[in-house]
Amino acid sequence: MRRTKVTVVGAGNVGASCAQRIAERDYADVVLVDIVEGLPQGKALDMNQSGPVVGYEPNLIGTNTYEDTSGSDIFIITSGLARQPGMSRDDLLQKNKQIVTGVAREVADRSPDAILIVVTNPLDAMCHVASDATKFPRQRVVGMAGILDSARFRTFLSWELGVSAKDVNGFVLGGHGDTMVPCVSYTTVAGVPVEQRISADRLEEIVQRTRDGGAEIVKLLEKGSAYYAPSAAVAEMVDAIVLDQKRILPCAALCQGEYGIEGLFVGVPIRLGAEGIEEIVEIELNAREREELGKSADTVRELVGTLAEI
C-alpha cells in the first residue's frame, strides 16, 4: 500500500516544524523543499536520524527542486518573506505573491490532484494567489489560520479559569489579522458558556490578546515569529485529510455566498476530510459577530484588490 506523500515548501522554522510533526505521525513520506542549497537536505537528514529514536520510519527527502514532489497528495506552502523594516505592506504582498505563484504552478504541474494548504502570510490574500495559479476547485485549496488563532484563544481562556485547555472549546473566524473574530457566543468550558464564567470586560481583553497573539510573540523574540503553534495547526489539518477524520475546523476557505460573503477566502468552520473541504459549515452568529465578520471580509477584499493592482 502506497504511503501518503506530503510536500512542505519552505524549510524555515514553520516549514521544518511542519515536516517534523508530520514525519513523527509515521503515516506519510515527506518532501521538504527550499531554494537555499543544503538547508532542506540538512534538516531532512537530521529528522531522518530522529526516526529510530522517536519511532517513525526515516522517509524524509530534502531538495532544492520539485522533481521529488511529483504525485504529492498534500502540498503545504510556508515559503515567503516576513515583513522587514522599511518594507511596505504592498512590497510584502508583491514579493510573496511572486513566491506563492511560482510554488503553486509547480503544484499544478507535478501534483494536479493534491490538496493545497496555504500558510504564507498575508494568509487570506495568498490563498487567492494559490487558487488563481493552480485553478484547483475550492475543495482543494485551504488556508491555515483559524486553528492557530483558536488555539491561542483557548490557551488564554484556560489560563484565566485555571482549567485544562482540553475542556475549552471555541473558534476564531474571519481574516487572519487584526480583524479576526473570536466567537465568544460559541465558546464553552466543559459545555458551560464562557460568558457565564468570565466578565464581559475581561473577555474583551482576552479577545484582544488573541488578535495580538502573533505580534506578542514577535515582540518577545525580537527576531523571528511563531512556529511551534502554527506547525501544530497544520499537522491537525493534515491529520484530518490523511485519516479522513471529517473534523470541523476553522480554516480559510473560498466562500461563495456562505455567511453573505462572495468570492473571498475567509476563515469559516469547515468539515475537513479526505476530499479536502467537504462542507462550509454555517452557524448562527449573533448580531455583533455577524457585523465583525463582515468587516473582516471587507478587509480581505481590500487586500485582494491591492493584489490585483501589483
Helices (H), the chain: 13-25, 39-48, 51-54, 89-110, 123-134, 146-161, 200-211, 213-221, 228-242, 287-309
Which single residue is written with the C-alpha cell 468587516? 295
CA–CA dist 239, 237 (Å, integer): 5
Strand order in the sheet with 115-118: 60-63, 28-33, 4-9, 74-77, 115-118, 141-143, 247-256, 262-273, 276-280
Q: For residue 244, which of 287, 274, 277 has the smallest C-alpha distance?
A: 274
- Measure the CA–CA gap between 178 and 27, rounded to whole angstroms: 36
Collapsing DSSP states into helix, strand and coil, what is residue 213? Answer: helix
State how far the Cα of 114 lies from the Cα of 31, in Å rounded to an integer.
Answer: 14
Task: Tell me if residue 128 is catalytic.
Answer: no
Q: Which of 140, 152, 154, 176 is catalytic?
A: 176
The phi and psi torsions of 191 (rounded to 5 degrees) equal 90, -10
Report which of 105, 62, 77, 110 is spatially closest to residue 8, judged by C-alpha positions: 77
Looking only at the bridges linking them, the beta strands covering 276-280 and 188-189 are: unpaired
C-alpha cell at 24: 513523527
Give the distance, in angstroms, between the CA of residue 222 and the centroid of all CA atoms in the same chain. Answer: 23
Q: Which residues are catalytic?
A: 176
